[in-house]
Chain A
Amino acid sequence: MKSLAELQAIRNRMLEQVNMRKDDNIDTRVVVGMATCGIAAGARPVMLEFVEELKRRGLDNVTVAQTGCIGMCRLEPIVEVYVKDQEKVTYIHMTPEKVARVVNDHIVNGRPVDEYTIGAQG
């Protein structure tokens, strides 16, 4: 170890891997419905795409979690986004292609993608 910068580089590389264990710096949670209905409707690729996209953008203050059946199986895959101190937003009929926009518009820029939400489509 020849410099602090070197240490910092290791730290940054590792942070995204361990961040989900640090409760205090999580601002946003993405929750994917992964019950039988969700999985059958294609929730897995959606979830994996979220993980990928967040990683690509280096967003280490966001976690991706799974949950069971939310009770609206016909609307699956359902994704709920919880931004700290804000009301949750529920997205329905999600596809991997829609993920990038949700991350960009909602999680990064704070503007939920209305047309994907349950309010617009349900």
Chain B
Amino acid sequence: MDLIRSHVMVCGGTGCTSSNSAAVIAEFEKQLTAKGIDKEVKVVRTGCFGLCEAGPVCIVYPEGSFYAHVKVEDVERIVEEHLIKGRIVKDLLYKGAVKEDNTIKSLDKVDFYKKQKRVALRNCGVIDPENIDEYIAFDGYQALGKCLTEMTREDVIDVILKSGLRGRGGAGFPTGLKWKFAYNSQSEKKYVCCNADEGDPGAFMDRSVLEGDPHAVIEAMAIAGYAIGADQGYIYCRAEYPIAVKRMQIAIKQAREYGLLGKNIFGTDFSFDLDVRLGAGAFVCGEETALMTSIEGKRGEPRPRPPFPAVKGLFGQPTILNNVETYANVPQIINKGWEWFASMGTEKSKGTKVFALGGKINNTGLVEVPMGTTLREVIYDIGGGCPNGKKFKAAQTGGPSGGCIPASELDIEIDYDNLLAIGSMMGSGGMIVMDEDNCMVDIARFFLDFTVDESCGKCAPCRIGTKRMLEILERIVEGKGEDGDIEKLETLAETIKATALCGLGQTAPNPVLSTLKYYRHEYEAHIYEKRCPAGQCKALLNYKIDPDKCKGCTLCARQCPANCISGKVREPHVIDNSKCLKCGACMEKCKFGAISKG
């Protein structure tokens, strides 16, 4: 590895792995060897770059050229042209990186990255997550060293408190305060846990941190262990994240070999070790008490709080549980100081937040923005708006516990308190974008369907109440809604919120309440007019042929899989709605725009 002059960073995140980046890496290695430059160009498999939509992606340094949608066949050209002759292969670059005048923008100027600020994701796509030395080169384990050799336990807690860091797993509880409670609990044995359950459908930021920068989580957990006086930690990760689990296990092994985990770290009397515990991917196991019960080897069910985990947690001992992204911020806060962290964000929400942008959005992927960035900036400037010129309708945050932010609130500055105030929540960072074609009643039904499935069944409000709500919603989308359904939903929602045992039930009605708040008219249209304004609910859809526009070309009748369109040649056709499957094939094919749905 003597003369390395160029690095090819190929994304090995889950997104790009599934678009076959492993084959791209293999091809790079093959081509470099074939051309005899494998000793001067290094290929590195990294974590997620964030722009999964453009995957597989790779960056070639030192030029910083960002290649997107790289196919195995493209590799030879990149090697031949760029790595041997130094000519950047423009037509393979990420579209957004080439300016109109055909010159190239640097990566931080590309629209997708311009407004982002990468703190939790700082190493994702930059280092080889399976090589501890690279993490160390990017200041890794400096913070742990600083804590152990220069700071008291109280100092550490104080810095985290002053930084204003709040939990990134959902509720936004101040992290320093949590640590202080656990520090104050007297016990021989304490534990540090990491919540990597990431149950929110559509969210994948925690997975990306584990895949792209596992040592940051290890380092932060060791720091937390030092601060509260724990010598053992557990990372609770779902088994559906095989790449994350494998990288974490490799990272733990390397940290042990370097003595960064184990006995007498940095020659001090502090000892700390870590293990990974696999969960089966139940949503409720992301709830803190259920998670700890699951680590203990029992069925993952929640229990009432208090006592809070900081007093009585894992194996009955004082325990702190933090989210992956929360931890990913900690080493940098120690290194750069609380003032640095507190200088980003809004008054009560400091730092940055990572969102997993998905749904009807052009740039699907991971984005990290300072708190206080507006929703409009995230959706339009970074996300590139809705595809096919459709109109933005709402963004759903907070997953099954959260709510929808309507287009009228696009200028909201995203932080914990602002989102709560409008009936949504930060949640763990899933952000699903909806356009004019999404039916909001159906969205509410989707999330409720999820919670009904995931309810552990321990308490009646959640087990029975959410099921009743789902039944009503199903009725409404099937066109069988009745007068009074909306009121029933509201009563059930309030009751469940007030009486459910754990956060799962207490927040399950949120998707219904928030859609009712902003889109009540859509519920009403379904119930009273038997009409779905977005044209989504099949039971309420009717396709019609406008006799004035129909030329009787018979194309639609030949397309119809149900044979429900009839009519003579050159005469207007009609659809028999009792047999219609609402597939929409006729409307797509009609050349005269004679077919409409409603």
Chain A contact residues, CB within 8 Å of chain B: 1-4, 7, 10-11, 13-15, 17-18, 20-23, 26, 29, 32-36, 39, 47-48, 51-52, 55, 63-68
Contact = CB atoms under 8 A, between A and B. Distances in A.
B457 interface: no
11 contacts: A1-B259, A1-B266, A3-B267, A7-B136, A11-B142, A21-B9, A23-B108, A52-B2, A67-B86, A68-B85, A68-B86
A23 B149 contact: no
Contacts of B136: 7, 10-11, 14
Given A18-B134, A35-B86, A48-B3, A1 B141 contact: yes
Given A11-B139, A39-B85, 5 more contacts: A1-B141, A10-B137, A21-B126, A35-B86, A64-B5
A21 B86 contact: no
A61 to B, nearest CB: 12
B87 interface: yes
Contacts of A52: 2-3
Contact of B5 (A4, A47, A67): A47
Contacts of A3: 266-267
B41 to A, nearest CB: 11
Contact of A34 (B86, B106, B260): B86
Contacts of B3: 48, 51-52, 55
A63 B134 contact: no
Contacts of B87: 35, 67-68
Most chain A beta carbons < 10 A, residue from B2, B7, B136: B136
A13 B134 CA distance: 10
Given A4-B149, A10-B133, A11-B139, A34 B258 contact: no
Nearest to A48: B3
A71 to B, nearest CB: 14
B64 A17 contact: no
A35 B106 CA distance: 22
Interface string B1-27: 111111101000000000000000000
Contacts of A48: 3, 5, 40
A20 B62 contact: yes
Contacts of A18: 7, 127, 134, 137-138
A14 B134 contact: yes
Interface of B: 1-7, 9, 40, 42, 61-64, 84-87, 106, 108, 126-127, 133-134, 136-139, 141-142, 145-146, 149, 258-260, 264-267
A35 B142 CA distance: 43
Contacts of A63: 62
A39 B85 CA distance: 8
A21 B259 contact: no
Contacts of A35: 85-87
A38 B265 CA distance: 52
B430 to A, nearest CB: 30
B60 to A, nearest CB: 10
Nearest to A62: B62
Given A14-B136, A32-B86, A2 B267 contact: yes
Contacts of A7: 136, 141-142, 145, 266
A66 B86 contact: yes
